[in-house]
Every structure is written in structure tokens, then in C-alpha cells.
Structure 1
Amino acid sequence: MSIHVILLLLLMVSMGIFIIQYLLYKKVKIDAAYVVGFCLYFDMFGYFYKLAMPGNALFLLIAVPLIPVVIAWFSKDRKAREILSDGGIWLWFIVLLYGIVSLAWTTYGSAGLSKEAILIIHAIIPGIYAYILYKKYGKFSWKTLALFGLIFALVHLLLGEYSPEYPGRLSLPGSNPILNARMSLITITVCLWRREIPLYIRIITITAATVSALATQSRGPIVAFVIANLIVLVFFIYKRYKHGEFKHLSKYVVISIFILLAGVITASQYSREIDQWVGGSRFGVFFDRAELQGDNNFIGRLDLQRKAIDKWTDHPFFGGGLGSVTPPIARDFPHNVVLEIASEMGVVGLLLWSFAYLYSIWVSRRNGLLLALLFQTLGTALISGDFGFNFEYVLISIVALALIPNNKRVGEESHAQGIISNYKF
């Protein structure tokens, strides 16, 4: 171990001791959004860590937020321990437990345990951390999360690279352009649905995140983003119309028409440049069916999905075991989380997983932002995702369980310190 690594470790330990003393002395109320932002945009922090320190940075996801979480857990106020009685949390634990049990009949040398560990480190543990902190302090700022997203988008645009592995697609060094696109698109959704975020921050963040997402040329996350937000928007308009509030939507209609006209006029002015850019990018498949049918990426994924369906047909009830269709070979997974779960954990695993996810959907049914995020993150997992590294929908599912108060889940009115979305259904 080199001297500079030792000095950095000593500095980190000293900082940890100082933070503990500060939190205890000042009785600081930690915003749970800091934990979610740190874990959601961890690729950025991991990149900076690797510039100075050797080894895998993944342990930081557990270590960095641990101090305030432990303080919150052992405090006199026991609200943080509500997590032990939350049915939604236990549903996700049952899914993970069944995944571990299924390793008993999976193929030799599968990556099942490692991908479940990745899901736990990226989603379950951070989600639990955020749950404990919110129940203790009652603080979650979407503005803070949006600022994390803005910083991520700027870092991605300024320090990203076009690697030989992903030609023409901007990504952080050592990262994946699809993951970078997913993060920036989540940022856009947060800014679209949270009105209390200052307008200038929303405009700057949406602009930077949009450029960041398009620079990755990742098609699946963009499709999921558009479909999810349209679904929630239509549902929002329908609910307002049903309650006789359509007259209050006139201003949104005017704004939407203005934005649409401005977009059409701008696009017409640069139509030639746009055509050239789309034709030379991966987005050409959206406008040319022949190009889509000849796309090697599309054809390869269909073949992997057929193999997953065959595995499910052979083992319909309990599946082939976690990792049975995802051996430790790069990208050799179905790119559809439902097919992957069905083929590896069968109908039993798929039902357990569905109960856990749908429970969070039901809890969030009156919250426009949470619904949009849950639909969007699951959509990316259905189009180009996997059980391990597509962790966002699990993290947001657990965060939703924390943010929506328990009495709201059974139909009682509650304002819960203002965390219910401005676009409340």
C-alpha cells in the first residue's frame, strides 16, 4: 500500500470522526435525499474515488451513509424502526430470500448470487437507509435530488468519453452509457413533476440532463421516459376532469401548445441538421422499421429473450434458478427483467416480485412524481435491463414506502410535512 493511499485513508477516518461529533453535538436533522442522491448517482462518486484510490468503490454505498443512519436508529425516538413493521419492505425481503433459495437448483457457475448482491448494495441497503432517516427526521427534499442530478449531468458532459466499446456514445470512464442515460432521465422527471423546485434550477437541470441523455444515444431509457410520463400525465388530466377541475387546466393547455409550437418552429429551422444527426445516430430505428429489423443489438436481444422463454417453458413453476440464464458473460442476459425473473425464478418468483412492486405502485397511486419514476425505471428494466444492475425501481419503491405516510395508505387524509406531490391525484 502506497504512502498516499495510507494518508488518504487516515484523512477519511478523521473526517468520519469529525462528522460523528458534529452530528451528535448539533443534533443535525439529515435530509434523506442526500442518501438517495449519493446512491442513485453513485457512478459519478465512484469515478472520482477511482482517480485517487485503488480497488472497487462499491463499499462506499454502504459505508458513507452508515454513520447518520446508525445515529438515527439508536436515537430515543423509535420512529426509524417503523421499517420493521412495513409490509412492503418485507415483500422485497421475501423476493430476495426466494432468489437465494433458488440458487440450490441453478446451473453451476452462474452469476446469480453476485447479481443479487449488486441489487442489495445498490437498492435495498440505500433504500433502507433513506427510509430510516426519513422516519427519524421527516426531511426529503426533491430540490436536493435535482441538484445531484444537475451535477451528474455536468460531470457526464464535461468528463465523459467516447470509448471504443461504445462508439459515438458518451459515458463516464468505466461506466455504461445506458446507466448514465437512466440517471439523467430520472433527473428530468423529478424536475418536471416538482413545482417547489425553483424554476431557474428546473430549466438549467432539464437542459443539462436532456443533453446528457441524448449524448448517450441510449434508446430504451428514452422510450421508457416518454411512455411513463405520458401515462401519468393522461391519468393526471383524467382525474382533474373527473373532479370537475378541468377549467383549472386551461393554463397548462396554453403552455403546452406554446411549447409545442415553439418546438415545431425550432425543428423546422434546423430540419436538415436534425435529419443528418438522427440518420447518423442510433435513434434512426425510431423512424425506419427496416433499420430496426436489421439492428444487431435488437436482433441479439430477441435471441436472448427467446432463450429465456425456453428456460421458463422447461421450468415454469420454480424456474431454472437465479443466474441460470445469466452466466458470467458480458451482456448475456435477456434485457427484460420480467423474462429474466420468470425464467430463473418461475411463476413463484414472478408473483412474489409482482406483489412487492405493485404494493409500491398502490401506495404511490396519488403521487404523480413517484408513479412516473416507478413506471419509468421499471420501463427501462423491461426494455434493456436486468435483475442486478437495474436497481432504480427497487430503490424508488422503498423510498415511496417511506415518503407516503401509513395512514395515507389506508385512505385517510394526511399532509405529512409536505412530501405529497404537488401533482397529487
Structure 2
Amino acid sequence: GFSTDNGPLGGFEVRNVNLFGKLREGAFRSRFSRLHQLVRFEYFDPRFRRYGARSFAPLTASLLYQRDTSVTRFFRSTIDRGSGGIVQRFDAEGKLIDEFGQSVKEPSINRLTFNLETRRDFELELSPSGAVRKRSTLVLRYNYEDVRLFNIGSLLIAPALRPDQVVRLSRFGASFARDTRDAQFDPTRGDFLNVDYALALKGLGGNISFSKLLARYHRYKTISRLRNTVLAASFQLGLARLYNPTDRNDNGVIDDADRRLPISERFFSGGSTSLRGFGFEEAGPRVVVPNCTFGPQPTPVFDPNTGFLLPPCGTFRDQKGEPVELNPFTVPIGGNALAVANLEARVGVTRDLQIVPFYDGGNVFEKVKDIFGKDTEPGRNPNFRARWSHTLGLGLRFKTPFGSLAVDYGYLLNPPEFVIQQFGGGTAIHRPGQGQIHFRFGQTF
């Protein structure tokens, strides 16, 4: 194939559904283009272990290598609004350079992962028609992941990525789910519980040790006397802790950046299915970008939050190739803790239309203790402090042949405030907009 973004595209796939004559499956997949390369091996044994009279626990194994040089696409949704679409440094000839003006290569993400997983159903109840009415499932897994960022010097947010340039995770995990909902996509009664826990250890071959818990609970109840109104509630709680943090950003001290999970493991929230007073994954702590200085300074400039000397910004150029100075703005960085509560009343107006008043509360927090407001650290960066947010809103649900079309408007009652150091001295306060409109197919949860 061919894409105007990636150029020529290709792929190759081989699958065997009866390996060794024992109904085991094996597959090899590859995808390649100028910007993306992927190779994946898969193995599936549907009868790995017997339990009960007629039940089997399957085993799934996969090995994947992926290289992606379209790194900037991961940052554009948040950064474009603050930087005018500028995410990298270029010289006058359009070649990539770092903050010191030195030529650098295209940034890339290289990822190697190995997954091993098995599952078992503990409770399975079917209706007379054969539909699942109740199910409890336990999943056990092992995961090894090696992620490396190369040539990030040209990127606007390189300082935020440097602690995670080399991340090796070796972890065991377990997930338990119990589902009594009457429908998966538009439930009207029942509940859903999911608890996921993972433990990553350096002793297993990784370079970071942490534990991470994420629990979710949804509850649905129909009140037939109120036009079949469905009361829906959802709660999420995420907690993580690093063990024996190291100096991952090479600044000689163990600072806040070293105590955070790798960015791929942090909790994020905000958007059409969580906190609707925020944009997509824009809740929680933020960093100021660019956190550097443009041009020669009469005296050294220090970061007021860390006390370190600010590095030069280097040269950024607009779409016409002209050098520009970027005004500082904020970028969400996620956190080690998450607490979210959603309450909805899905009121039927007609057979194909619902009106949905809702409340969303919670936030992403840098540290677990921040959930409970126990921040007593003097001199802490105020942009890393998060408080419980409150959003009130109203939505509409239109039933279509493709599912429910949802339109929600959320109004954030207590928007956060972020302190931005100005290049000319002093500070400014940034307050995100309070109103957000969201579109999607399907219910919120």
C-alpha cells in the first residue's frame, strides 16, 4: 500500500491453527513503512490446563518488536495549542538540531515486549437464551518490556522524556473481573468490578521497581417509574509506589521526576469517559514547557522550583522557517495516583433519545497522599499539587444503527491554576477553560 504520511506500506503474515496437530495456534506478523516497523510472534494453547470437568485455562504468549519514528504525533494534541504546532527544532535548511544547534537524527521509540498470560473463569451463569448473566474471571500474566527513546534532543519536551529514555520493566500481574451487567455496551442494571495489580522488580531483570493497583467499579439501576431512568455510578482508584528510586534524569539528585512512574505507566484522566470538565488526559500535574531561556541573558536564570540553572532553548522555527521564541505553557504529565467518581441519570425522553445530567469528581495526583490532601512538603512545585475537581454537566444520547451517539457538556467548577515563570522575570497564572464539549459513540461507562 501507500500513504501520504508514511510512504510505501507493506506487511506479511503467516498463521497455523493446528500446531503439532494439537489445535494450538501460532502466528507471525510483520508491518513496515518508512516510519513504522513491527514484528510479532504469537502462540495460543486453548487447553493449557484443565480445571473442572469440561473447562480449560488457555495460555497466550507473544513477542513483539516495534520501531516508531513518528514520535511527535504522541504530543500534538496537547502541545499544538501552546506552541502553534512547533514540537521540534530545525535549522535554516530544515535539518533537525538540538538545543545547542548540533545536528541530530530523527527521534524514535524502540520497544521490545514479551507477554505470557493465562485465565480462568470462576463463575459463569447463562440465561435460558445462552447469554452471559454473571461471570468472574481471574487473569495471571508476566510481562517484560524494554522501551528506549533515541535522539530526543530536537524535541520541545525532551526534558520531560529524559528520565524515561531507557525503561526496562519485568513484572508479574493479576487481574480479577466480575460482571453482572445485562448488556456490555448500554447496561441498565447490574454491576462490573475490575481489580488489576502489577509488581515490577529490578531483581527480575528490570531497571525500575514499583507496585501498581487500579480498581474500577460500575453500578447500574433502572427506575421504571421515572421513564425507565437508569442511575449509573462509576468509581476508579489507582495507587502506585516506586521502590528505591534512582537518578534517572542524571542531575545528581533523587528528585520528583525520579519518584514518578515511567510516563507509559502513569495514570492519566480527563475527557469524554472520565473527567468531562477537562480535555483528553489533561487532568492532574503539569510541567512548564519550554523550561529554558531564549538568547543571551545578562545574568544566569535559575528554575524557581528546582534551583537548577535553566539550559538554553535553542532555535525554534515557524512554518515559514523564521526563528521564533515560544511563550511558556503547561503540559500534563500524569501521576502516581488516580481517584475518579462519575454519577449519571440517563433519563429517557423518547425511545431513541436520552437526556443525561451528570457529576464528575476527582483528579490525577502526583503522589498517593495527595488524594487525601496531606501535602505538607515546603517548597514543593505548586504545579504538581492537584486537588479534587468538581464538574457538573448535561448530555444527550441519540440511538443510531451504529450505537448511541453521545454529546456531553461539562463545566469545571474549580479549575486548577498553574504558575508559569516568564522569560522576562515574574510569573503568570494559567487557568484552563472551564467548559468542555465531548462527542463519542456509546455510554460514558
What TM bracket, shorter-length normalisation? under 0.3
Task: Provide TM-score, normalisation by structure 2.
Answer: 0.24
Instruction: Give the greater-gyration-radius structure (CA).
Output: 2
Structure having the larger proportion of residues in strand: 2
Task: Provide TM-score, normalisation by structure 1.
Answer: 0.25
Structure having the larger proportion of residues in helix: 1
Bigger relative CO (Cα 8 Å, ≥ 6 apart): 1
